[in-house]
Amino acid sequence: MGNYLGIDVGSITTKMVVIDGKNEILADTYIRNNGRPLEAIQQGLEIISSRLSRGSYIGGVATTGSARHLAAYLVGADVVKNEITAHSIAVIDQFPEARTIFEIGGQDSKVILLRAGVVVDFAMNTVCAAGTGSFLDQQAARLGISIEEFGTLSLMAKHPVRVAGRCTVFAETDMIHKQQVGHSIEDIVGGLCNSLVKNYLNNVCRGKELLPPVVFQGGVAANQGIRKAFEEELETGLIIPEHFRLMGAVGAAKLVKRAGPIRTQFKGFELSQKPCSTRGFECSECGNQCEVIELLIDQRVEACWGDLCEKYRKSSGPGVGKP
Amino acid sequence: MEEKGRIGIPKALMYYRYFPLWKVFFEELGWRVIVSGGLGRRGELRYLEDSCLPMKLLLTHCMDLKDRADHLFVPRLVSLHRSFIMCPKFRGAPDIVRLAMEESVSILDETIDLRVREHSMLRSFLRSGQRLGATEKEGKRAFQRAEKCFVSFQQGWEDRVNRLPSEQVFHLAPPPEPTETPKKPFRVAFVGHPYNLFDTDVNKDILSFAKNLGMRIITPEGLSEKEIDAQVSDLSKEIYWSSGREIVGSLFYFLSGGVDGVVFLTSFKCGIDALLQEFVRRRLKLRGGTPIPFLILSLDEHSGREGLTTRLEAFKDVLEQRKY
């Protein structure tokens, strides 16, 4: 019986999980990308392999998240799945009675509606990133507090101020204004949490029927201020899964376990020791002017993508056109 | 017949519905029709004001044509329905183009307003013909021929959309025979303004992506006015934009059955779409939701298509879960 590796490469963080045949988590990791997803994936693989017991066999790999294709090319994935499906799979197995999932990550926020254990509707934030993790990060940095303190601080708010939550640019201006007229940091942070929650409910969840039980996951679920604001606004408790930050990766791992590949495409944990890089060029053969990307592992072109006509994709090495 | 000159037709806006009609008309009068190129991946948008993406594309396409064509065809579309009107931007389109071109090219901008007899499709084209030196008789004959071609073009519509690569959908050649019938595809209705549905510079060729996911594309083009009217007749307030009415009518037509899923493609900056979305959401809420999966995709100027493909992939997973 093999183990399964799920990799979720988001815009801000990379999450990895290895589960065994009984869905028990054997190893996991959560690291920041710092804008370099390839390095983050390699680093993640190294950590995972050090946490796994010797001789653990990986029977399949699945990738998800906004860099799922890049990750799939790099590690050799058997399943590549969008994050909406991955997140819902993780929840359905763990909380079959759940009817709403809030997932707020680094740059995306989504709502997924479940009825009788099946996804019936979903929505993601559109052009606006207000209310996502990266904005909270940015504001915490501006106020000189760590993102971990952010949540506790907002719980101490006595009179949360009103902050424009529609747009991050306005929110920031508004917060600076409040700070300059003398409101306490706790009240400002508390107000920000409230307004982000309102923004999320009014934008992402607009027109959706939000029924309890509600599961809240993604990196932002760590923020107690946001949790409290949600609970007050919805007048219902939230279920925060134990591995709320890893749910995408858990879902991916479950998906590949379900798919049960006969022979995995996984390139092995040794990948973390090999030099990996990408390089891009603009193809000038037709009007499309595709930006083609080449993935190099050990100085060898292992995969190519970005070409609409798939000319390069097909000509670059055996077995790479897979994902 | 010797060639009289070149008529440039920008590949934007209502090109994505009427191009075959326009092309045949001008060709019948002895003019050569040239069409602007695509924006391409690296294309640069040319515009005067921060308008909606489809309008910006109109200017970009006109710029591309202005040195190659004797006349640009940018009709003033006031109304394409006997009682409803188009978005005001359509009415001003020829003026915006003229301003951007700095009067460097002649623009055929005859008004089409189907609410008024004087501005019927035929009369508008007769006037365009006159400006090109054609007699009324020649104009009439060309228009009849064009209409005939247009009708036969529309007949193979669904096959055309599903079997041809996106850039060839509006070519006049008949669609190819089916190569193979894939295992039962999902029938998915794509609803929106024609240019949102078919302009690959607007939608990042989402239809091809949908086809690759195993969807058969159904569009509102085939619906009759009666079928649309039946869906919007009980509204508390009349939707007076013809396109908006058509979109809402066809959305609810498809949401009442016959397809596996419905996708509404909207333009981020479009005022009509913004109101329609809210309108549709409220109506659905009143009805207690929809039995058919429904997805709203917002199109903007993002260069990547990741956001669109992720949502469409997830939508397909929803359809799959329902079916099995």
Scanning every residue of chain A, which has its alpha carbon at the shortest distance from the alpha carbon of B321? A118
Contact between residue B110 and residue B46 where contact means Cβ atoms under 8 Å apart: no
> Per 3-state DSSP, what percentage of chain A is helix, strand, and coil (rounded to 5)?
40, 25, 40
Residue in chain B closest to A86 (alpha carbons) equals: B314
Indicate the DSSP class of residue A106. S
Interface test with B, best of A120, A308, A310 (most B CBs within 10 A): A120
Write out pLDDT tens, residues B268-302. Answer: 888 889 889 888 888 888 888 788 999 999 888 77
Give the integer Cα–Cα distance in Å for B103 and B108.
12
* B85 DSSP 8-state letter: B
Which residue numbers of A have CB closer than 8 Å to B's CBs?
66, 81-85, 118-124, 126-127, 206-207, 209, 282, 287-291
* Cα–Cα distance, A132 to A121 (Å, whole number): 21
The terminus-to-terminus CA distance of chain A in angstroms comes to 24
- How far is it, in rounded angstroms, from Cα A96 to Cα A89? 10
> Within 10 A of B161 (CB to CB), how many other CB atoms are there?
22
CATH 3.30.420.40 fits A96-240, yes or no: yes
Instruction: Find out whether A4 and A18 touch, Cβ atoms under 8 Å.
Output: yes
Write down the domain spans for chain A: 3-93+248-273, 96-240, 276-315
Taking every pair of C-alpha atoms in chain B, what is the biggest distance, in angstroms?
63
* Fold matches, A3-93+248-273 and A96-240: yes
Residue B43 corresponds to which tokens in the numbers above?
């294309």
Distances (CA, A) of A306 to A108, A289, A300, B41: 23, 10, 18, 11
Contacts of B322 in chain A (CB under 8 A): 118
| Contact check, Cβ <8 Å, B41/A126 | no
Phi and psi angles of residue A279, each rounded to the nearest 5 degrees, phi first: -145, 150
pLDDT by residue (tens digit) across B109-159? Answer: 999 999 988 889 999 999 999 999 999 999 999 999 999 999 999 888 888
B317 and A287 within 8 Å at the Cβ level: the answer is no
What was the ipTM of the complex prediction? 0.82
Number of separate helices (H) and strands (E) present in chain A? 10, 13
- All residues at 6 or more sequence positions from A125 whose CB lies less than 8 Å from its CB, including other chains: A108, A109, A110, A131, A132, A200, A203, A204
The pair of structure tokens assigned to A49 is: 């392999």
Contact at CB, A127 and B38, closer than 8 angstroms: no
Q: Nearest-CA distance from A118 to chain B in Å? A: 7
Check B317 against A289: CB less than 8 A apart: no
Q: Can you give the pLDDT of all 323 residues of chain A as single tens digits? A: 689 999 999 988 999 999 998 999 999 999 998 889 999 999 999 999 999 887 788 999 999 998 999 999 999 999 999 999 999 999 999 999 999 999 998 888 899 999 988 999 999 887 666 567 778 888 888 888 887 788 889 999 999 988 876 677 777 888 888 889 999 999 999 988 888 898 889 888 888 889 999 999 998 999 999 999 999 999 999 999 999 999 999 999 999 999 988 999 999 898 888 899 988 888 888 767 778 888 988 888 888 888 877 778 766 544 444 44
When scoring A8, A68, A83, A84 by the number of chain B Cβ atoms within 10 A, the one with the most, hence best to mutate, is A84
Chain B closest CA to A275's CA: distance in Å?
Answer: 27
Which strands, in side-by-side order, build the sheet including A276-282? A276-282, A291-297, A300-305
What's the angle, vertex CA B181, arms to CA B179 and CA B186, rounded to 5? 130
Going by C-beta distance under 8 Å and a sequence separation of 6 or more, which residues neighbour residue B14?
B75, B77, B80, B90, B194, B195
C-beta atoms of A127 and B322 within 8 A: no
State the sign of the Cα–Cα–Cα–Cα dihedral A50, A52, A53, A58: negative
Q: Indicate the pairing of strand A58-64 with strand A79-80.
A: parallel
| Rounded Cα distance, B273 and B271, in Å | 5
Q: How far is CA A51 from the centre of its chain?
A: 22
Q: In this complex, how many residue pairs, one in chain A and one in chain B, have their CB atoms less than 8 Å apart?
A: 58
Minimal C-alpha gap between B137 and chain A (Å): 42
Alpha carbon distance B223, B235 (integer Å): 19
- List, in order, residues 6 or more apart from B172 with CB less than 8 Å away: B20, B23, B24, B149, B153
pTM of the model: 0.87
Q: What is the dihedral angle through the alpha carbons of A253, A256, A258, A264, rounded to the nearest 10 degrees?
A: -130
If you search the block for the tokens 């219902």, which residue do you land on? A236
Q: Is the peptide bond before A213 cis (omega within 30 degrees of 0)?
A: yes
Determine whether the interchain pair B41/A290 forms a contact, defined as Cβ–Cβ distance below 8 Å.
yes
Sequence-separated (6 or more) residues with CB below 8 Å from residue A201 = A210, A233, A234
Choose the closest CB to A122 out of B282, B306, B314: B314
Of A123, A124, A289, the CB nearest to B42: A289
Q: Tell me the C-alpha distance between B157 and A302, whole Å.
A: 42
Look at the domain A3-93+248-273 and name its fold.
Answer: Nucleotidyltransferase; domain 5 (3.30.420)
Residue A289 has its nearest CB partner, among B40, B317, B322, at: B40
Q: Tokens standing for A126?
A: 């559109």
Contacts with B268 from chain A: Cβ below 8 Å: 126-127
Which residue of chain A comes nearest to B288, CA vs CA? A209
